[in-house]
Amino acid sequence: MSESHTTPFSVLDLAPVPQGLNVSDAFQRSLNLAHLAEKRQYHRYWLAEHHNMVGIASAATAVLIGYLAANTTSLRLGSGGVMLPNHAPLVIAEQFGTLETLYPGRIDLGIGRAPGSDQRTMQALRRHMSGDIDNFPRDVNELVSWFDAREANPAVRPVPGYGAKVPVWLLGSSLYSAQLAAQLGLPFAFASHFAPDMLFQALQLYRTQFVPSERLAKPYAMVCINIVVADSNREAEFLFTSMQQAFVRLRRGETGLLPPPVENMDTIWSGGEKYGVDKALSLSLVGDKAKVRHGLISLLRETQADEIMVNGQIFDNDARLHSYHLAMDVHESL
């Protein structure tokens, strides 16, 4: 498996807010993680747009990308993703054109089609709901057209942004974005860290239907998974209970801050909830370096992923940094 070492390894950060801390603390923790990612040479660092969730602080995704870019020197930063139906494409083109102008060659725009929020929050974001999601392919095309400066004199020109060549990715947890990414010749990232069911079907669809474009000659698929690494399996499993609890709460329709880990999840979830959470988080590698290495080798063999993105919501900041440090050790050992 020596070729696996060439598979880029990247970071997904939701800027989680742990119990007992606030949003400002979450931003400081993100900066800590960005510094580690840069030092350990993670390939890229993405932040995800969510709304109306008190435990996730990355709602103003472009602003947070700018903060981390200003406080790092070489780390590639981007969105994983911006939920395009929530925004006018022109605004996103201007935001990411501004970021690319300030930090040339360091910015990615990952785009999602989901709202990243509940129905009432969608209405608060969009003001009206007429056909926004149905316009998604058109909106993506419009963004790419601006970034590639396809028209010499467009009627509407994002400034900055026109001709900025910002890399555009499509993100998804179903077959829709896989198919659209293939049609448009764009790189594709699958959200198997929380919705693994259609991973293999989506990868096959994307690769078999891919149409080469000026941006991409052949398919490029990134797989996002959860990794929690610690010095022992027991410690890693303990740390992972924070994420498990957060998913139990989501299934109950509750939001909240990231909870501290617990010794026994059986006091928290029902049998049905355990089944659902285990299914949602089935693409999670949790354990010491040896166990995670074994799981990663299997995952790379099964998915043939061009890149792996790592999500790891861990309550304790030092444990979170240590997990990403150990994860890169595992990657380098392949």
Separation in Å, CA 296 to CA 119, 223, 228, 299: 37, 12, 12, 5
Instruction: Give tens-digit pLDDT for 186-204.
Output: 999 999 999 999 999 999 9
pLDDT for res 192: 97
- What are the backbone dihedrals phi and psi of residue 36, each rounded to the nearest 5 degrees, phi first? -65, -45
In 135-193, which ranges are continuous DSSP H helix? 136-147, 175-184
Q: Helices 23-39 and 61-70 sit at what angle, rounded to 10 degrees?
A: 50
Instruction: Give tens-digit pLDDT for 97-125.
Output: 999 999 999 999 999 997 655 667 667 66
For each of the domains in the chain, give its residue range(s) and CATH number, in order of start.
2-333 (3.20.20.30)
Closest Cα partner for 281 from 312, 305, 259? 312
CB 219 within 8 A of CB 278: no
pTM of the model: 0.95
SS (H, E, C) 44-96: CEEECCCCCCCCECCCCHHHHHHHHHHCCCCCCEEEEEEEHHHCCHHHHHHHH
Q: Which two tokens stand for residue 222?
A: 């990134």
CB 229 within 8 A of CB 326: yes
Each residue's pLDDT, cut to its tens digit, for the chain (334 residues) gives 344 458 999 999 999 999 999 999 999 999 999 999 999 999 999 999 998 889 999 999 999 999 999 999 999 999 999 999 889 999 999 999 999 999 999 999 999 997 655 667 667 666 455 555 578 999 999 999 999 999 989 999 999 999 999 999 999 999 999 999 999 999 999 999 999 999 999 999 999 999 999 999 999 999 999 999 999 999 999 999 999 999 999 999 998 999 999 999 999 999 999 999 999 999 999 999 999 999 999 999 999 999 999 999 999 999 999 999 999 999 999 9
pLDDT for res 126: 62
pLDDT for res 6: 82
DSSP classification of residue 123: H
